Structure 1
Amino acid sequence: MREVRISLIGYGVVGHGVVDVISRKRKMLRGLGLDLKIVSITDHTGTLVNEDGISGESVLSHKTLHEVANSEMSAKETIRSVNSELVVEVTPTNIVHGQPGLGHMEEALSNGKHVVTSNKGPLVVAYDKLKRLADDNGVMLKFEATVGGTMPLINLIERTLVGNTILGIRGIFNGTCNYILTRMAEEQYPFSRALAEAQELGYAEADPTYDIEGVDTAAKIVILANAIFNMNVKYNDVQVRGITEITPESLALAKKHGYVIKLIGEVPALTVRPMLVPIRSPLAVGSTLNAAAIYTDLSGTITVTGLGAGGLETAAAILSDIVSIYRTKRVDAIF
């Protein structure tokens, strides 16, 4: 049985999801030969450390760590000091400077610890630097959860489609926008009403700018461009247009001619824009779903669909990355 000691940095919705999923799946994971132990959790209120492993029951009822923290160590101090081999970084995204997540990831990789993250900002700002740090220190940087939520996109390309040349990727990468456009098309809602409904249901933030202006999708396109196509691009290299100018009338006209309108991100084209999608296309998914078409030279077009957001859903992608690290290491050891 391989014991994997984890430091969790960030304890918001996704952090709670990580604790919950690891607690729920403990028996299944042990069947894979892995004993995952979260030995520290850090948020803005403090750090909780337990070398024997933190139980989900002891923390999941707490919104923050304020009442249960037993250390004042900062995130970087925790990464340096706690006996862990893997850091899960799930602090809020900032695509301008990448902090504080960028500093956390640099600290972990420099100290020879694997990093698994849902945080887009550091990868948008400094993917090449982080990848070099991981390679130089013999550890892995995994980030499936940054791009497609529950869609197995990056791992699918790197593992299952190995040997294929990836010609392009086109898809819906933002569940909030997809929900808004779906409701506008189904109910003839104006944009403002569909957005308000998305906010009431928790699908959109109080400030939805990143979603509706296409910023979130563009960040994901940058990550795919750099990780899959080795393009070394930045956010400003992407042409971005959001969905705020879409009207119920334009959606109705599209439907009349056999189309839906979706916010589509494309790489290596580096564009994010509303596009006409045939109603019968695999990309014409509704509600908060994401979908992506992967164009290859050998396998044709592979289309994947999955939920784009949510604490448990994002945590599921993080768990997949954690397991893949140790499966990869086991295969490498054979050869």
Structure 2
Amino acid sequence: MRTVRVSIIGFGAVGQGVANVLIDKKKYLEDIGLEFKVVAIADSRTAVIDPDGVDLVSVVNRKKTEGTVGDDKLTGLEIIETIDHEVVVETTPTNIVTGGAGLHNMLMAFKKGRDLVTSNKGPLAMKYGELIEAADASGSKFRFEATVGGAMPVLNLARDVLAGNTITNVEGIFNGTCNYILTRMMEEQAPYEQMLAEAQELGYAETDPTYDVEGIDTACKLVILANCVFGMNATHEDVTVTGITKITPEALMLAQNDGYVIKLIGEVNDSRINVAPKLVPIDHPLAVGGSLNVASVQTDLAGPITVTGRGAGSVETASAILSDMISIYRE
């Protein structure tokens, strides 16, 4: 049995999802010869530390009832720097202006030679090259499948499963909030504002939905794809972006009458990175509804490979994080 000591830095929906997945999959992990022992958890205000392994069930319950994970006042950065462990699971909120706490946490993890798995796309959209260099310099493993498409495997599909193929283009729907709004606008023949309000009520859209509906979230994911899959050195400033706020029910109905749906499509290849609403034939693999994400990867040997899945959700995103953790340590 290989025991790997873990810190979870950031304990919102995704961090709690990781804890729940580790609880649920304990026996499965034992069966493949792995034990992930969480020795430290930090939220934005408190921390809990136990070298023998934190009681995940009680920490999740405490976070729900009291809003904090523990009584220690160590920050995530201090945990990464001072507590002995092998892998940092970085799930702090995304900040695409400065990289936020996540950027500092990641650089500290690499400075200390720790492996890192993250769902935080902000630092990767801003400082991809710097982070990869820092990881390489320290010999740290760095995995970030959860940053693009949540549970939908895109990066590992392109890097690992399709190894040997030349990938010429990736396009798809990378934001479930926009897809939900556009799907419901068409179903109800209702205006954007009304379906946005519904999406907010159901928890698909934030109180301030700008990041999603203006295409910024999709742009960040495309930057990660551009850098990881195509070897570019892009930032979100290199993406041409148009959101969905100007789309009308009339436009959707006209498209439907001609056999099309309108979807917010992100596309990346070695010559362009683009986010914009596009007409998609109703029977096309990219024409998925609701809050689903979809990606079509064009390859020279295997042709087009299309994957569909849930692009958000705490357990769904945590599944991608767990997959990355297993891939590092089962090797």
TM above 0.5, one fold?
A: yes
Pairwise CA distance, 1:68? 4.8
1:121-167 alpha-carbon deviations (Å, 9 max, x no partner): 10011110110111111111111110111111111111110000010
Runs in 1 of length 4+ with deviation above 4 angstroms? 64-68
Write the distance in 2 (CA, Å) between the matches of 1:99 and 1:267.
26
Partner of 1:195: 196
Unpaired runs of 5+ residues, structure 1, are 331-335
Write the distance in 1 (CA, Å) between the matches of 2:180 and 2:35.
38
Partner of 2:289: 286
Partner of 1:179: 180
Write the distance in 2 (CA, Å) between the matches of 1:218 and 1:67.
33
State how 1:79-158 maps to structure 2 within 5 Å: 79-158=80-159
TM-score after normalising by structure 2: 0.97
The answer (yes or no) to whether the contact 1:46–1:66 under 8 Å persists in 2 is no
Write the distance in 2 (CA, Å) between the matches of 1:167 and 1:66.
46
Partner of 1:333: none
TM-score after normalising by structure 1: 0.96
Pairwise CA distance, 1:204? 0.4
Unpaired runs of 5+ residues, structure 2, are none
Write the distance in 2 (CA, Å) between the matches of 1:68 and 1:15.
11
1:41 aligned to 2:41?
Answer: yes
Corresponding residue to 1:305 among 288, 304, 308: 308
The answer (yes or no) to whether the contact 2:42–2:75 under 8 Å persists in 1 is yes
Write the distance in 2 (CA, Å) between the matches of 1:256 and 1:150.
33
Partner of 1:325: 328
Write the distance in 2 (CA, Å) between the matches of 1:99 and 1:11.
15
Larger mean Cα displacement after TM superposition, 141-150 or 56-65: 56-65
The answer (yes or no) to whether the contact 2:63–2:69 under 8 Å persists in 1 is no
Partner of 1:167: 168
Q: How many residues align?
A: 328
Larger mean Cα displacement after TM superposition, 4-13 or 65-74: 65-74
Pairwise CA distance, 1:67? 5.3
Pairwise CA distance, 1:66? 5.9
1:263-305 alpha-carbon deviations (Å, 9 max, x no partner): 0000022000000001001110000000000000000000000
Give 1:35's aligned amino acid. E
Partner of 1:258: 259
- Gap change, CA 1:204 and 1:68, over 3 Å in 2: closer
Partner of 2:318: 315
Write the distance in 2 (CA, Å) between the matches of 1:304 and 1:68.
36
Give 2:27's aligned amino acid. K
Pairwise CA distance, 1:71? 1.9
Give 1:54's aligned amino acid. V
Pairwise CA distance, 1:77? 1.1
The answer (yes or no) to whether the contact 2:16–2:314 under 8 Å persists in 1 is yes
Larger mean Cα displacement after TM superposition, 310-319 or 60-69: 60-69
Give 1:32's aligned amino acid. I
Write the distance in 2 (CA, Å) between the matches of 1:253 and 1:295.
29
Partner of 2:24: 24
Write the distance in 2 (CA, Å) between the matches of 1:120 and 1:173.
13
- Gap change, CA 1:304 and 1:282, over 3 Å in 2: same
Partner of 2:277: 274
Write the distance in 1 (CA, Å) between the matches of 2:152 and 2:304.
15
1:56 aligned to 2:59?
Answer: no
Q: What secondary structure is seen at the aligned counterpart in 2 of 1:100?
A: helix
The answer (yes or no) to whether the contact 1:170–1:293 under 8 Å persists in 2 is yes
Give 2:22's aligned amino acid. I
The answer (yes or no) to whether the contact 1:6–1:84 under 8 Å persists in 2 is yes
Larger mean Cα displacement after TM superposition, 49-58 or 300-309: 49-58
Write the distance in 2 (CA, Å) between the matches of 1:239 and 1:86.
35
The answer (yes or no) to whether the contact 2:43–2:68 under 8 Å persists in 1 is no
Write the distance in 2 (CA, Å) between the matches of 1:40 and 1:188.
49
Write the distance in 2 (CA, Å) between the matches of 1:204 and 1:141.
29
Larger mean Cα displacement after TM superposition, 45-54 or 237-246: 45-54
